Amino acid sequence: MIRDKHPGSGGGVHVALDELIALSAMAHGAALARERRTAALRSGTSVSRWRGRGVDFRESRIYQPGDEIRHMDWRVTARTNKPHTKLFEEEREQALLLALDCNPSMRFGTRARFKSVQAARAAALLAWMASRAGDRVGVIGFGGGVNGEVKPAGGRRGVLRVLRAIRDWDHAPDKGSNDDLSQALARMRHVLRPGMRLVLLTDGFSADAPAVLPLPQLAARHEIAVVLLRDALELHAPPPGRYAVHLGATRRIVDFADPRVRDAWVARFSQSRTRLLDECRRLGIRVVELDTDADLRQALMPLLARSRSSKVVA
């Protein structure tokens, strides 16, 4: 495991603000790709175009099963003697909300850097790309005693506020407390506005069973992507032998020569991660698995779109 010889100095254990700022150069020529979604997915069965903020009447059409009764156009219905419903044109905020898992499990890594550091780097790159496309950027941090929020703001100043918060959360003393993903999702629901996109950066270990309840509602209203952090030692047990494992202040000797221990080790790490992956696949939420030693831009490529003018590809 990477050990922190000089706390606060970076080196794969903590993020440095200048490194997050330097990632702006990597954002050149690419932007966050927008997912093509049908109107039914975005707004139930009602057809709607999304532009910014506010709601305006657009037109009336013949009532279809599933339409909101409260949107019935009674005047047109009376005139034509056929049930009609109103359609609205809702303007949408062009903003990106990053949700950063700061739980103790993220402060782990055996290849190049901690998962927390790689997650911070990924969040910074996505923030720069969104800003280049003209989107506002905000961030929520949860777990490990972190309960912070930076409201979406535009321009370089908005990105720098996000990066400073990420740096501060990473350098904050680890209180050892865990926040479940279900709690974090409840916070996100209060922050997200129509049209805002959400990128969740987590290792999946906070994905408790109740987290699957709010995900469908969020996915129906917002474009969501998940960056799933992982380390090589979580995917495969170490070579057979006896190892000292530190869990907070507790130190244990684990015998990885025992096949049962090796199987239990892999199963322990995959349980929550698999639950989150399965639910995302069911909902059509894009997932990018990001290793601690991966090339950042290459790994995030499924979320990115090439653009000469740095505009988001619709």
pLDDT tens for each residue of 128-187: 999 998 899 999 999 999 999 999 999 999 999 999 999 999 999 877 788 999 999 999
Whether 179 and 229 map to the same domain: the answer is yes
Range with the poorest average pLDDT among 30-34, 130-134, 250-254, 267-271: 30-34
Q: Tokens in use for 111?
A: 């290849």
CA distance 217 to 22: 36
Q: Which residue has the tokens 């609205």?
A: 88
Whether 76 and 184 map to the same domain: the answer is no
What is the CB-side half-sphere exposure of residue 192 using CA atoms within 13 A? 25
Range with the poorest average pLDDT among 32-41, 179-188, 212-221, 264-273: 32-41
CA distance 302 to 314: 15
Q: What is the pLDDT of residue 43?
A: 38
CA distance 223 to 134: 17
Whether 129 and 187 map to the same domain: the answer is yes
- Residue 309: pLDDT over 90: no
The pTM for the full model equals: 0.76
> In this structure, how many other beta carbons lie within 10 angstroms of the beta carbon of residue 95?
21
Domains: count for the chain = 2
Whether 204 and 78 map to the same domain: the answer is no
CA angle 280–285–287, rounded 5-degree value = 80
Q: Quick one: pLDDT band at residue 50, thresholds 50, 70, 90?
A: very low
Task: Say if 245 falls within a structural domain.
Answer: yes
Strands (E), 54-124: 55-62, 84-90, 95-101
Whether 79 and 117 map to the same domain: the answer is no
Whether 105 and 253 map to the same domain: the answer is yes
